[in-house]
Amino acid sequence: MGLFLAMSSVVGAKAAEVEACVGDYITGRQGSFERVVAELPEEQDGTLLESDGGVTFVYPNHFTEWNDVSAKLSVDLKKPVFSFHIHDGDLWMFVLFVNGEEAVKFNPIPDYWEELEPEERAKWLPSAADVARHAPNVQAEQLAPYLIEWPEDGLSGKAHPDDEFEYIDWQVVDFMRRLGFRYPDPGQGVSYRFEVKQRH
């Protein structure tokens, strides 16, 4: 099985307000949410990290409602929220929520799950300007090289020469950095244990 990873990056947010909002969602689902000091197994560990562009919350592996939380964050905090996802090590993607609604979305392999009609396909390949308008101090031309379709046999090279990753799943980290977010390395940020009943 490849890598599955999900996180919310909240533009211009502070750590305390994101923590409170995520905690409110979890407890509202009859779940438990608490800070932890000791290191947890990765599948149980949620991590929050504040950076210049805002706050990123990385969800534990068992949690599947990252889009729901991202939508709630965008409503409660009145800030744009990127809901990032790495799917099975095959691709990275995002949905950008504004006021609880999908404003922009990106998937470099639009037909990954099923063949889409041209109009629907185009929605997954937005312009850089569509994204940049929701991220202060970010230039569209910095984002444009990431927001392209990957051919069936993959794409070599990097979006920018100073990026860490090529056009693979972890490229999301370089894209986040262009937006002013940081992905938490081991030992960075605040860790949380939370459990929530899964929806049926």
Residue 152 pLDDT grade (very low, low, confident, very high; cuts 50, 70, 90): confident
pLDDT in the model for residue 62: 84
Q: How far apart are CA 29 and CA 195, in angstroms?
A: 9
* pLDDT above 70 (res 1): no
Residue 95, classified by CB atoms within 10 Å of its CB into exposed (0-12), middle (13-18) or buried (19+), is buried
- 107-119 pLDDT, tens per residue? 999 999 999 999 9
pLDDT in the model for residue 198: 61
Residue 171 pLDDT grade (very low, low, confident, very high; cuts 50, 70, 90): very high
Residue 66 pLDDT grade (very low, low, confident, very high; cuts 50, 70, 90): very high
At 75 the three-state DSSP class reads: helix
Nearest to 45 by CA among 12, 16, 82, 5: 5
